[in-house]
Amino acid sequence: MKSIAAYSAVVLASITCSSAVFAQDSGYFGANLGMQFQVGNILSNRSGGLGKLELGSNGLTSIQVVGNAETGFRFGGENRNLFGLFAGVNAGNPFNDGSPIYLGAELLNYGNHNLDFKIESFSVVYQGDDGGGRQEGFSSSLQYQLGYAYRTQNWNVTAQVHDELRSKGYTPENDPSFLNFTFSAHRSMPVPQIFNSELIMGISIAASSSDYANYQYGVNDDNRYKANREGLEDYSLDFAASAAVNAGLVVPLANNWLLTGNVAKEFLSEDLANSPVLDDFQSWSASTGVRYVF
Amino acid sequence: MFSKHCLLYLTLFALPSFAQDGVLKVQPEQCVVVKEGRQCQANVTFTWQKNEPSDVCLYQADELTTPIACWQNETSGEQRYRFKGANSQLFVLKSPKSDRELLKVTVNVSWVYQKKESSSWRLF
């Protein structure tokens, strides 16, 4: 697996739209659609918000139609919306086969602070008596994410905790901890000398519990059915972490049109870098696109 | 619903200002930034024409003490200028000896994202 060069090229065209759908200044709708070409393991995409509907995938090289959409509304007055609801579709990346649909509640939107709770999946299963020691009856699982964001004209700082709650009997052997933490900070700076553009620089880090890391990036009997794992030997991780830095430029083309470009470099922790489903311990990616905003 | 787009456009006439005295134009007329409040910079070109030869100067309207350029006994002129501003700005052509503005033109500053983001859509 190490023979594949850890370079990535992403070609992305996106369309973004925004309008007051439900009532003045309280509703919104957003969507992204584009094409993406990728070679190498770019983990940042899992939190980068680019859902993917895969056209074809061959190991770590893939060409995909990417897209996601979200809509929602908020209650309350201007700049003090205290509660909102939203729903979205986001297919994740090739290495993350989580639920493509999510529902969320905006718990707090006060000034620059935003706190939300997102339900990513909820499942109920009935286990019959299989004679193998599994508990008979109904059990359930809830995957959720708690997110905080601080947004100003120049800063966008986010922190998210993802976890899964399982009722007794959902997993027979143990009670896995599917804990995943992400943090990102992005600074936007005007560069009027370069076509009145905005320079955006940022860092992001992610860390996962052992169970979650093994589910996503390990190879075992529970996840061998997933893509990229056929023929691979078992592999387990104690811990998974990654860090990325990126820089991008947003150039206004007209009142509603933006040209975007971004380069990123990502580093993986040792356990993650040695995973046979990933490629190397670091990778580059680049993307460009146009965006329409209304 | 769709308040942002419920605009009524009324176009009656498109007459240049002070059509009898001449015309003052600027290209490009618009300067676009990503976010409201950011300074916009652009190389613009002012061109003017009058019916009769005049002594005139081009000024930024809020800085009438320092002319951008002056012409003597001319019927037309052209001037390149480095525009910088976070808001739209008015430029005037007038006689250096008089307060009367002969011709006006505006360089408009617009933006893609409004400053108030609380009600705008989420960043994915």
ipTM: 0.74
d(CA A185, CA A149): 10
pLDDT range class, residue A107, cuts 50, 70, 90: confident
Q: Closest approach of chain B CAs to the CA of A95, in angstroms?
A: 19
Q: Which residues of A touch B116 (CB under 8 A)?
A: 79
Among chain B residues, CA nearest to A110: B118
Where do we find the tokens 């061959």?
Answer: A58
pLDDT, tens only, A171-226 = 655 567 778 899 999 999 999 999 999 999 999 999 988 888 887 778 887 776 66
Q: How far apart are CA A219 and CA A234, in angstroms?
A: 5
73-112 of B, contacting A, C-beta below 8 A: 84, 110-112
- Using a CB-CB cut-off of 8 Å, the residues of chain B touching A74 are 119
Which of B37, B110, B112 shows the shortest C-beta gap to A293? B112
Burial of B103 (C-beta count, 10 Å sphere; 0-12/13-18/19+): buried
Distances (CA, A) of A8 to A11, A285, B84: 10, 5, 38
The interface residues of chain A toward chain B in range 27-46, judged by CB-CB distance below 8 A, are 28-30, 32
Name the residue of chain B whose CA is nearest to A29's CA. B121
Checking if the pLDDT of A46 tops 50, the result is: no
B121/A197 CB distance under 8 A: no
Mean pLDDT of the region A69-96: 64
Q: What digits encode the pLDDT tens for the residues B49-78?
A: 998 999 999 999 999 889 999 999 999 999
Q: Does A49 touch chain B (CB under 8 A)?
A: yes
Taking the Cβ of residue B28 and every Cβ of chain A, the question of whether any pair is shorter than 8 Å is answered with no
Q: Which residue has the higher pLDDT, A51 or B15?
A: B15
Give pLDDT, residue A188.
Answer: 93
Name the one residue in this structure whose structure tokens are 């990346």: A93
- Are A192 and B121 an interchain contact pair (Cβ–Cβ within 8 Å)? no
| A290 contacts A13 by C-beta, under 8 angstroms | yes
Distance separating alpha carbons of residues A268 and A196, to the nearest angstrom: 35
Grade residue A112 by pLDDT with cuts at 50, 70 and 90. Answer: confident
Beta carbons of A81 and B33 less than 8 Å apart? no
Point out the least confidently predicted range of A174-188, B14-28, B32-46. Answer: B14-28
Average pLDDT across chain A, whole number: 71
Report whether pLDDT(A72) > 50.
yes
Nearest CB to B122; choose among A28, A81, A256? A28
Find the range with the poorest average confidence among A30-44, A225-239, B80-94: A30-44
CA–CA gap between residue A226 and residue A234 (Å, rounded) = 13
Mutation for testing the B interface, residue in A153, A184, A186 having most B CBs under 10 Å: A153
